[in-house]
Amino acid sequence: MRVSISLGGSLLKDLEAFRRYADVLRRLKAKGHRIVVVCGGGRRAREFIAQARSLGASEELQDRVGILVTHLNALLLIAALGEDADPRVHRRSSDVKRHMDDKIIVGGGHLPGSSTDYRAVLFARAIGAELIVNATDYGGVFDKDPSKHPDAMKYDHLTYDELERIIRSRFEQRPGDYGLFDLKAVRLAKRLGIPIVFVDGTDPEEIIRAVEGGHSGTVVSD
């Protein structure tokens, strides 16, 4: 299967994490899946963006700071993947299409005003992906914030429109904080009709199950 993975920066917190996700991506590749993975910026991006904001940076400049951090994470993932990765950090869909061979393609952010989630959907379109996986440190989409409400309920399935309404009502969309998922990314995935699976990437096996079945996250489709 052709799969585009948005790997949340919150997951890429230490060396061990880079090794674990590299291992999972390698296993997917060995099973014959074609993988594009876009790295988020995580805590480091938020710290740099907050510093830029304190120094008076415009939103565009804050985004450019965040983009650089996503590229640093992508370079570390490329290092962990070694021979299995294309050595370039990809930012343009046209390049991804051209370089999609037997290597895992690793991407980072590109333009201000969006997040790596949007890149992952653009790359999905470029490679003709059948699935987009959004791996983060929370397992799926909930009816309320599970960190504050122990009785929060996870959705097994949502439509794109339902996901859009949830993001609009409960999450930010600004530099360093594209909460849950980037709205532009939801709309594009809807136009393309590519399902998005939200999984808890703190268990790397969930990424394999998101592709092969049996995950316990949330599926977003029509």
Interface positions with ligand UTP (CB under 6 A): 8-10, 40-42, 45, 49, 62-63, 66-67, 70, 109-112, 114-116, 119, 175-178
Nearer to ligand UTP, 66 or 140 (CB): 66
Nearer to ligand UTP, 93 or 114 (CB): 114
Considering only CA atoms, which of 132, 136, 106, 134 is closest in space to residue 189? 132
State which residue has the least CB distance to ligand UTP.
66
Nearer to ligand UTP, 29 or 59 (CB): 59
| CB 150, min distance to ligand UTP, A | 23
| CB 49, min distance to ligand UTP, A | 6
Here the tokens at position 134 are 């959004």
| CB 18, min distance to ligand UTP, A | 15
Exposure pattern of 136-170 as b/e (b: 16+ CB <10 Å)?
Answer: bebbbbbeeeeeeeeeeebbeebebeebbebbeee
Tally of CB atoms within 10 A around 189? 26
Which residues lie closer than 8 Å to 109 by C-beta, 6 or more apart? 41, 63, 66, 67, 70, 71, 91, 115, 116, 119
Nearer to ligand UTP, 10 or 93 (CB): 10
| CB 200, min distance to ligand UTP, A | 14
